[in-house]
Amino acid sequence: MMAAACARTFSKVGRFILDTPKCRVTNTAALVPRMSMRCQGRAYGTGGAGFKSRLLVAAPVRGSGRVLGCAFLLGGGFGLYQTIKLTLQRHLAEEQANAPLGTGLKLTLYQYKTCPFCSKVRAFLDYHGLPYEIVEVNPVMRKEIKWSTYRKVPILMVNETVQLNDSSVIISALKTYLVSKEKTISEVLTFYPEMKAKNDSGKDVKEFGNKYWVMVHDAEADHLYPEKDTRKEEIKWRKWADEWLVHLISPNVYRTPTEALASFDYIVREGKFSTFEGFFAKYFGAAAMWVISKRLKNRHHLQDDVRQDLYKAVNDWVAAIGKNKKFMGGDQPNLADLAVFGVLRVMEGLQAFDDMMEHTKVKNWYRRMQKVTEQVS
């Protein structure tokens, strides 16, 4: 604004001089209107009070008024050019600042669409506006990930070179990268070391250190978690989603033979199966999972009516959010919101989902989560 005002003043003076038929040295000072060389409080002249008239008298060449007018016009034009240039630069900088973080990353997600862990990752990517490509993996042959020694999904490839495994590590690592802005994704990944562990059955499995932590400096953590205990609560409920909520999905969607068949019809329709694999999976898989769901019910000590465990878990989640907040994260979802939503979302279109929406208090929160995670085409 300041540069533009000065440019306009110079242009007016230049046009006034050029429009004058004759300019004589003796009366040149009279032709120049008295004006201030100050723009919004800053002085842009270098001479004293008589600077302008001395400048004109020092030019004893006929027609010097036109020369000076041209100079004023050139100066005004240059000032206008600089103003436009700075305005455009500022506009571009604002656009870059408001652009989705991390859009420079090329992300490829290897997944099963109906897998709750893969759904968690999609919810995170969609909410943060991170574009990504999907490779649907055939759950029988898994040839799409034959290049990987890690044989589970989701797998997220970053820039075709860096491999991120485990849904919670993927989410924590990407969030760390987006918040810190000072480390490469490879450097961030070193915060989540792969370790060997044993599961409940005594089988060797791979685990990852710090998988629920966003690894940022204290100042960044204070900004990300402004209220007391919000970080602790986020970690607590992310673990709860992985260690409890996700184990309620299979017993509920395969609760009866009819529900098991409907679930596998959905899985086959949304997944990547050959015709033979799809037929086999739909009928034999449904029967097998109905039997397995009974074992899962016993393993996790669920009630005979597994719906009651689902209802209780969902209502516990809603109660933890409280009545005065839209999300666990406040006005915006945090990583716990995205994890719980991702797990529950895989039941959409099935009887278990309809029953949950009808018999719990989750509906309003769930609809808000649907809205904020919608992808913009």
Identity of residue 310: L
Query: Is 334 in contact with 356 (CB distance < 8 Å)?
Result: no
Backbone angles phi, psi at 134, to 5 degrees: -115, 135
CA distance 181 to 224: 14
Q: With H, G, I as helix, E, B as strand and everything else as coil, classify residue 346.
A: coil
CA distance 312 to 244: 12
Q: Residue 128: left (phi > 0), alpha (psi -120 to 50), or beta?
A: alpha
Q: Shortest CA distance to 310 belongs to which of 236, 361, 245?
A: 245
Residue with tokens 């630069």: 89
Cα distances (Å, whole numbers) of residue 89 to 3, 46, 117: 15, 29, 42
Catalytic residue, candidates 6, 115, 225, 366? 115
Query: What's the token pair of residue 76?
Result: 């005004």
Catalytic residue, candidates 118, 191, 311, 366? 118
Catalytic residue, candidates 112, 266, 341, 366? 112
Query: What's the token pair of residue 336?
Result: 């716990």
User: Do you find a cis peptide bond into 154, omega within 30 degrees of 0?
Assistant: yes
Q: Shortest CA distance to 176 belongs to which of 161, 165, 167, 187?
A: 187
Q: Is 6 a catalytic residue?
A: no
Counted residue by residue, the chain has a size of 377
Q: At what angle do helices 306-321 and 351-359 cross, to 10 degrees?
A: 50
Catalytic residue, candidates 10, 72, 117, 341? 117
Q: Is 39 a catalytic residue?
A: no
Q: Is 70 a catalytic residue?
A: no
Query: Cβ of 51: how many Cβ atoms within 10 Å?
Result: 11
Q: Is 192 a catalytic residue?
A: no
Residues labelled as active-site residues = 112, 115, 117-118
